[in-house]
A and B are shown apart, each in its own frame.
Chain A
Amino acid sequence: MANEEMEQLVSSEYKQGFVTDIESYTLPPGLDEEVIRYISSKKKEPQWLLDWRLEAFALWKEMHDPQAWANIGYPKIDFQAISYYSAPGAKDKNAPKSLDEVDPKLLETFEKLGIPLHERAALAGVRGVAVDAVFDSVSVGTTFKKELAEAGVIFCSISEAVQDHPELVRKYLGTVVSKTDNFYAALNAAVFTDGSFVFVPKGVTCPMELSTYFRINAANTGQFERTLIICEEGAQVSYLEGCTAPMRDENQLHAAVVELVALDDAYIKYSTVQNWYPGDEEGLGGIYNFVTKRGDCRGDRSKISWTQVETGSAITWKYPSCILRGKDSVGEFYSVAVTNNFQQADTGTKMIHLGEGSRSTIISKGISAGRSNQSYRGLVKILPSAKNARNFTQCDSLLLGDKCGAHTFPYQEIGNATAQVEHEATTSKIGEDQLFYCMQRGISEEDSVNMIVNGFCKDVFQELPMEFAVEAEALLNVTLEGAVG
């Protein structure tokens, strides 16, 4: 990257912190059965889904916040002070039927975020990327639906999928992350609003990258999206997810659930660049990002690969995981998490090996700066049925400065003598020698740090699709702005 661009990047603040001034209908704060019934009726959902939500809600009320075990701290969240539904447009307005009906202000917002929703504009790019754009509680539009449909791929918002493909939703929803899985997954099951749905039929390789861009705009509102991706036998898809929010003084809650299902020989590659508003330098505001992501390698030789770059949020709590059920199935987790100022992250993965010959790889790179605190938490569980299962784990932490923290909590449960499990972990302070070497060649301290940190993360960045790798590097540099010196 050219130096000037680099400089522009490191000197910029959270660029996505603007608010879109748009008429929207937001439910008053509070959570009870009426709210759930409202969301469900607003989305014209079938009775079974409403029942499912209500069951989840009843169970959630009996559950406890995960604060007890995660290495994060935050004031008790008042779930009655949050609004659970906010949609652009007047109260009774129906959802736009096509991109042409979408409020130009919304299109502008996504344009400003670098996500053009005009197919022509998107086509001008080197490679087409189909986008589903989610604004607060609703999807505002999905591009390239027609082209994808010709290939047999379904890509739409989950609300639309409930209407148009109820049999598929009913067959797979909640089968990977059950509604009782954990506190936030139960909350999500009760109140989820929108999210993306992907179905790639047998033998089809999705002809373009799919992407969902999540935007929180309204104040005092939580975003609870739910994403479901299914690849049938031999199908393949690469899916990207991005997210941003305005700068606000109060904390906002984002509690998503993502479920992936890969049947025999299917391959799902799921990449995330998470850039929720992290709060200011004093630790005021920012998103609480409590997310449950899990992939089920249900079929033999299936493969699920998670790549995440986590730079945003005041608190991140997420463990994208794989259940390696199929024989010779493969799970991968590549993660870069960066925390600065007062950010906290407790993130990692779970690899649950059930299938014979299943393999998993975990590469986690954590970078802590400022007064931030970061933990890697990972579980490798090998059940007796998983003969000859293998896992390789590598966790590296890099500290910038002396007021930040990095912790590693690796858990291993090996129920099989034929398993091979390797674990490597390093923690290093950014090398004074490395910095001095770069600066002695004339490179500024800030650029030197960026260069060294990007090098540290390279194993993960090279797993990202091209367009995202560039964005990820840029984001990393912005996040670490002012971290040294």
Chain B
Amino acid sequence: MIEIKDLHAKVEGKPILKGLSLSIKPGEVHAIMGPNGSGKSTLSAVLAGRSDYEVTSGTVTFFGEDLFAMSVEERACAGLMLAFQYPVEIPGVKNVYLLKAALNAQRKARGEPEIEAPAFMKLVREKLQFMKIDNSFLHRAVNEGFSGGEKKRNEILQMLILEPKLVLLDEIDSGLDIDALKVVAEGVNSLRDAGRSFLMITHYQRLLDYIEPDFVHVLNDGQIIKTGDKSLALELEDRGYDWVVEETA
């Protein structure tokens, strides 16, 4: 699904990613862990196409296409979604309006007709219920005055409606209590299937108890230095990152 080869990227002139390679096949769930400043969030920002991140070398193909030749919205319409660590507030724009505009933009890109209002509302209500979110949520401005947990649930709600192919979950567990974490994890798990992949960025093993990964990678100083299965995450939780860094030094 996505092939990242020898990726180098800078932020404000400072190299952050230094030769990162990663391949994700359909249906796989990958987790990326690593100390602060290792480049985890830079990776998701570069893949989603933030303009303040400069790719200096390397390639990324998404479904065989050159990802860097695509605009932000083209990447989104091709099925790449970033669930943000800090979802931004957009005053005055209703949640339901953003959801509908996004869904229709993506449908249009796929050559599908716009969704009819009743079908859309039915879909949204169903997903709201699943995410244990009150209907009034729809008429509030996007993320405005939302608690940390509500913001994260809103990201997952968007995911359930847009049904992306590859989801980048950037510290989706940060700021969540255990009940909210369960709801978020249920949302993610409900979308897991043979054609959809996830890349989770997290600090904590806790998330992986609820969303079980196929692979766990350790990112350090802009490179993946170790790959393992779920047990690697447990080991990291237990022993920290230093031993991995020393082992590969």
Contacts and interface: CB of A to CB of B under 8 A. Distances in A.
A439 B114 CA distance: 18
Contacts of B158: 441
Interface stretch (B98-106, B201-209, B210-218): B98-106
Interface string B87-100: 11011110001100
A439 B108 contact: no
Nearest to B143: A437
Given A441-B158, A454-B92, A455-B93, 19 more contacts: A2-B104, A3-B114, A432-B52, A434-B90, A436-B51, A437-B87, A438-B90, A440-B73, A441-B81, A441-B106, A442-B76, A442-B77, A443-B105, A444-B105, A447-B101, A455-B91, A455-B141, A455-B142, A456-B91
A437 B106 contact: no
Given A3-B104, A443-B105, A456 B92 contact: yes
B219 to A, nearest CB: 22
20 contacts: A3-B104, A4-B114, A431-B88, A432-B51, A440-B48, A440-B49, A440-B76, A441-B98, A442-B77, A442-B106, A442-B109, A444-B105, A447-B105, A451-B90, A454-B92, A455-B92, A455-B93, A456-B92, A457-B92, A459-B92
A451 B98 contact: yes
A442 to B, nearest CB: 4
Nearest to A461: B92
Given A433-B88, A452-B93, A454-B93, A438 B98 contact: yes
A444 B72 CA distance: 9
Name A's interface SS.
helix
A221 B57 CA distance: 62
A447 B71 CA distance: 15
A243 B114 CA distance: 34
Given A436-B72, A454-B93, A455-B93, A443 B102 contact: yes
Interface string A1-42: 011100000000000000000000000000000000000000
Nearest to B158: A441
A209 interface: no
Interface string B26-46: 000000000000000000000
User: Interface range on chain A: under 10, 10 to 19, 20 to 34, or 35 or more?
Assistant: 20 to 34
A120 interface: no
A440 B51 CA distance: 12
Interface in A425-477: 431-434, 436-445, 447, 451-452, 454-459
A2 B81 contact: no
B226 interface: no
Interface of B: 48-52, 71-73, 75-77, 81-82, 84, 87-88, 90-93, 97-98, 101-102, 104-106, 108-109, 114, 141-142, 158, 162
Contacts of A442: 73, 76-77, 102, 105-106, 109, 162
B150 to A, nearest CB: 16
A454 B98 CA distance: 12
Those 6 A-B pairs whose CB atoms lie nearest each other, nearest first: A455-B92, A458-B92, A455-B93, A441-B102, A442-B76, A439-B72
Contact of A437 (B49, B84, B101): B84
Contacts of A452: 90, 93
Contacts of A455: 90-93, 141-142
A190 B92 CA distance: 44
Contacts of B101: 3, 438, 441, 443, 447, 451
Contacts of B90: 434, 437-438, 451-452, 455
A451 B92 CA distance: 9
Interface in A126-178: none
